[in-house]
């Protein structure tokens, strides 16, 4: 135990010694002067001004040892590794402990070496040293506050980052204190808060100057380099509004995590992250922590087709947290499947029963072997071709994968008595104007028809675009920005519904737990977003000015592309569920001719001997926009 404390003390000495610089040397010289004066003053007070020369000579002779003792104690307690211009209560407690330790050691030396100084000298010397060293550091503290109000100065060997804090609450207070008490390159120069009662006050000596509407003006006035939004309890909509104001300044914008992301409620500069495009959606976090979802997943064998894709992989991540009995990743693309497998193994080790299989949903025999070997109880079907322009060029491949791949999974699930199967659909299935949307609408009809004849609970979940998923506009825009632009948008008025990958995946799992059979669940996608606004926000988040540093160009609508997407067919109706953000469309009636229709479609896809669009329209009962004439002999 003694060795442990000795090692700590030596380590503190080492840190203290390495921290000495010009400013520290000045403070050290001031401390030495204070200590010397304090002890001679103690002698003067002890003898009421009439000090015998013997004691003066004795004290002068022992002063080097006294000074060494104090300096070593001060270094050991870290008094020369702190930025006293920004000191807090804990720092002044260090001064107290350092003075106590030094005076006790000095008294011990006096006793052991028979200095013959009056005992009261040590007590008076300690008091005068403590008060004097505290006073000099209070002056440093006051000077530090003055520097902050004036914009600060570089006190360490790297450029200072001038920070605006938004939020004069507990979180802002913690961040400002951390910046002041550590050797941070960040220096808080101004605080903003919408509470008028706080405007004009100070937070750790940093002035609260105005509300959110004054952010642009204050950024210029205080020469701000970085803005931190420190309001973890604020709604996402409020944070979004503030972030949009901040982005217009062209400065780097960061945020503290929301309360549910904080570990034990701890906030620090390490938890601060850059504002991302996901923050600008203003969508509330979805939780899966309820008995209904746990009961649905816990202890079950779950198969996720397309498990290595952007949606499928996130479904796997969420399921892994819910006590799944066995998780089966099924994907045609081995690299994605392998990467997810390694990620989950690192996260859960042997506690997660994980199986990773390579295969295609087009091959029913492969599916049958998987179902036979592993007996999945729950299936999430995420395997699909989803790129609208690519599927316009290769329509028959779209049908082989999205329609007949789905049919294979549905039939296999039915044959093996799976408890439930959930299809991942899309808003493009509603009144489709392209091949991809049409294939997804037919996949929905497969689900609904089989639910009428099967004990398996078949359901589909329909939602819009997912931010950051493979092939979404976000990765494309980011790449275009990295290359210096231009950022390409098809039309100035095009709008889309968006949600994040985790939100979409959680809602899919929730919908699966709700399914009774035949439902098409529709997720509340919030307000639609103009794609040009999304591009503008991404450019600003990257530190550029739209149409100045990075241009935005319009290329025209692509084949099969709509200006806007819909989530509901007019005949479907919509009913709310007891789960927020999940609605259910009225199930379609069973079509006894469906099997004949689907087999006719298979014949057309395999033989390419009829116009594909005519067959699609016959199946879905909707006059699909004929952007192309898919006659027999198409290159795909």
- The pLDDT value given to residue 288: 60
Task: Go through 317-337 and write b for each residue having 16 or more CB atoms within 10 A of its CB, e for each that does not.
Answer: bbbbebebebbbbbbbeeebb
Q: What pLDDT sits at residue 170?
A: 83
Judgement on whether residues 266 and 295 belong to the same structural domain of the protein = no
Domain that holds residue 401: 291-620
Tell me if 339 sits within 8 A of 314, measured CB to CB: no
Q: Quick one: pLDDT at residue 353?
A: 96
Residues 475 and 434 in one domain: yes
Please give the pLDDT value at position 419: 95
Measured between alpha carbons, how far is residue 12 from residues 79, 81, 97, 453 in Å?
Answer: 10, 10, 14, 76
Strand partners, 322: none
Which residue among the candidates 254, 428, 457, 506 is catalytic per the annotation?
428
Encode pLDDT of 316-357 as tens digits.
999 999 989 999 999 999 999 999 999 999 999 999 999 999
Q: Are 106 and 12 contained in the same domain?
A: yes
Residue 234 lies in a domain: yes
pLDDT of residue 345: 95
Q: Within a domain: residue 286?
A: no
428 is catalytic: yes
Q: Indicate whether 281 belongs to any domain.
A: no
pLDDT of residue 571: 47
Q: Is residue 630 assigned to a domain?
A: no
Same domain membership, residue 338 and residue 216: no
Q: What sections of 429-520 are H helices per DSSP?
A: 435-451, 473-482, 501-514
**Residue ending a domain, choose from 150, 171, 201:** 150
Regarding whether 343 and 209 lie in a shared domain, the answer is no
Both 444 and 565 in one domain: the answer is: yes
Whether residues 188 and 126 fall in one domain: no
Residues 121 and 172 in one domain: no
Establish if 280 belongs to a structural domain.
Answer: no
pLDDT in tens, 210-236: 889 999 999 998 889 899 998 887 777
Q: How many domains does the chain have?
A: 3
Same domain as 175, residue 143: no
- pLDDT the model gives residue 59: 74
- Cβ neighbors of 481 (< 8 A, separation 6 or more) are 487, 538, 539, 542, 544, 550
At residue 556, φ and ψ (nearest 5 deg) are 95, 150
Give the CATH number of the domain where residue 353 resides: 3.40.50.720
pLDDT profile of the chain (636 residues), mean per 10 = 52 48 70 81 75 75 81 77 56 77 80 76 79 76 51 50 88 83 78 87 81 91 89 80 86 78 61 76 62 89 95 94 94 94 94 96 96 96 90 91 96 96 88 88 92 92 72 79 88 80 86 88 77 84 81 83 60 64 74 87 86 79 57 42
Report if residue 282 sits inside a domain: no
pLDDT in tens, 31-49: 788 888 887 877 777 777 6
Instruction: Out of 150, 172, 196, pick the residue that ends a domain.
Output: 150
Domain final position from 150, 177, 193: 150
Instruction: Give 343's Cβ-side CA count (13 Å radius).
Output: 15
Assess whether 78 and 99 both reside in one domain. yes
What's the burial of 117, exposed, middle or buried (CB within 10 Å: 0-12/13-18/19+)?
buried
pTM above 0.75, yes or no: no
Tell me, what's the pLDDT at 176?
83
Residues 93 and 169 grouped into a single domain = no
Q: Answer yes or no: is 283 within a domain.
A: no
Verify that 389 and 533 share a domain, yes or no.
yes
Residue 489 lies in a domain: yes
């Amino acid at each position: 135990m003694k060795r442990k404390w000795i090692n700590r003390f030596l380590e503190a000495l080492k840190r203290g010694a390495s921290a000495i610089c010009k400013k520290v040397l000045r403070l050290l010289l001031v401390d030495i002067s204070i200590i010397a004066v304090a002890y001679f003053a103690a002698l003067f007070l002890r003898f009421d001004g009439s000090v015998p020369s013997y004691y003066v000579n004795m004290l002068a002779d022992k002063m080097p040892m006294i000074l060494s003792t104090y300096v070593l104690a001060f270094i050991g307690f870290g008094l020369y590794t702190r930025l006293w211009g920004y000191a807090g209560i804990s720092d002044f407690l260090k001064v107290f402990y350092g003075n106590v330790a030094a005076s006790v050691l000095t008294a011990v030396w006096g006793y052991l070496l028979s200095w013959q100084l009056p005992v009261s000298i040590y007590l008076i010397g300690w008091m005068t040293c403590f008060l004097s060293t505290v006073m000099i550091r209070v002056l440093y503290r006051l000077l530090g506050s003055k520097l902050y109000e004036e914009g600060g100065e570089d006190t360490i060997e790297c450029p200072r980052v001038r920070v605006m804090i938004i939020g004069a609450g507990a979180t802002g207070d913690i961040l400002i204190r951390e910046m002041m008490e550590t050797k941070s390159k960040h220096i808080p120069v101004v605080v903003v808060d919408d509470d008028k009662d706080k405007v004009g006050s100070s937070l750790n000596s940093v002035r609260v100057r105005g509300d959110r509407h004054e952010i642009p003006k204050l950024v210029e006035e205080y020469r701000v380099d970085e803005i931190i939004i420190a309001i973890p309890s604020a709604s996402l909509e409020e944070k979004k509004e503030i972030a949009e104001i901040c982005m217009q300044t062209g400065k780097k914008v960061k945020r503290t995590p929301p309360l549910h992301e904080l570990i034990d409620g701890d906030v620090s500069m390490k938890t601060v992250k850059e504002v991302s495009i996901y923050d600008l959606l203003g969508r509330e976090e979805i939780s899966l922590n309820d008995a209904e979802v746990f009961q649905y997943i816990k202890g079950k064998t779950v198969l996720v087709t397309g498990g290595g894709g952007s949606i499928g992989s996130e479904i796997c991540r969420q399921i892994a947290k819910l006590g799944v009995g066995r998780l089966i990743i099924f994907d045609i693309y081995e690299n994605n499947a392998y990467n997810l497998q390694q990620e989950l193994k690192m996260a859960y080790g042997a506690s997660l029963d994980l199986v990773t299989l390579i295969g295609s949903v087009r091959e029913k025999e492969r599916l049958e072997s998987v179902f036979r070997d592993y007996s999945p109880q729950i299936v999430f079907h995420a395997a699909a071709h989803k790129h609208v322009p690519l599927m316009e060029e290769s329509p028959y491949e779209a049908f082989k994968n999205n329609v007949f791949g789905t049919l294979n999974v549905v039939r296999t699930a039915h044959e093996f008595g799976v408890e439930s199967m959930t299809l991942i659909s899309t808003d493009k299935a509603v009144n489709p104007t392209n091949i991809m949307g049409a294939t997804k609408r037919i996949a929905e009809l497969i689900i609904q028809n089989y639910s009428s004849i099967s004990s398996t609970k078949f359901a589909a979940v329909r939602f819009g675009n997912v931010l950051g998923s493979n092939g979404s506009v976000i990765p494309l825009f980011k790449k275009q920005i990295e290359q210096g632009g231009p950022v390409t948008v098809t039309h100035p008025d095009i709008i889309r519904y968006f949600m994040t990958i985790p939100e979409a995946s959680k809602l899919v799992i929730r919908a699966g737990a709700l399914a009774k059979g035949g439902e098409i669940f529709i997720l509340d996608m919030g307000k639609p977003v103009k794609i040009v606004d999304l591009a503008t926000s991404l450019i600003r988040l990257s530190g550029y000015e739209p149409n100045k540093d990075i241009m935005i160009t319009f290329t025209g609508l692509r084949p099969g592309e709509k200006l806007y997407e819909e989530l509901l067919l007019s005949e479907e109706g919509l009913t709310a569920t007891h789960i927020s953000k999940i609605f259910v469309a009225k199930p379609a009636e069973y079509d006894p001719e469906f099997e004949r229709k689907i087999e006719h479609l298979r014949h057309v896809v395999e033989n390419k001997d009829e116009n594909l669009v005519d067959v699609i329209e016959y199946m879905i009962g909707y006059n699909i926009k004929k952007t192309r004439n898919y006659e027999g002999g198409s290159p795909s």
